Amino acid sequence: MKNKKINTKDLVNKIEKVTKARIASQPVVSLADFRDAAKKEDPRVILVIEDDETMRMALKRIFESEGYVTKLAADATALSEVLDDTPIDLILMDVGLPWVNGFELAQLLKENKDLKGIPLVFVSGKASDDDMKRAFEIGADDYVKKPFDVEKLRKTVRTLLKLNE
């Protein structure tokens, strides 16, 4: 056997035939599924700034179920821990925050060269015409009144993230 040369041509052909058959039997992945898989590998990050813990956790569950990473801050003082951690793709913020209200905090964020381009959505129970006008003057991209329609908020977030790509 030592001197006999082994012919691998038939073996290679059979392996290729089995491999091609298995590849051909696999389902075709749609472009949408491929994009969804890519999002899961590199998920978008949403920062929720909300002083009410119940609302903060509800927003976290809503967006994590969509595949987003959700960072949480109860107020402006907790923000430095979150901002140093991961780049943020979108901010959801309440107006009625303690110490530094949402309008003041949004103004500070929009004045920061590294943060001013991040889409900002106010999610607040305060929704007078003056509040909404002030929010948009500061640079908010949308203003959602509590209680809100979950699907509408999800759509708003998806749209803003897509526009900001």
- The one-digit pLDDT tens for each residue of the chain (165 residues) are 566 666 777 777 888 787 777 777 777 766 666 556 555 566 899 999 999 999 999 999 999 998 999 999 999 988 888 887 678 999 999 999 999 999 999 999 999 998 999 999 999 988 789 999 999 999 999 999 998 999 999 999 999 999 988
Q: Per-domain residue ranges for the chain?
A: 43-163
CA distance 112 to 80: 13
Domain 43-163 - what CATH class? alpha beta
CA-based radius of gyration for the chain: 25
Of the candidates 112, 116, 78, 111, the one whose C-alpha atom is nearest the C-alpha of residue 94 is 78
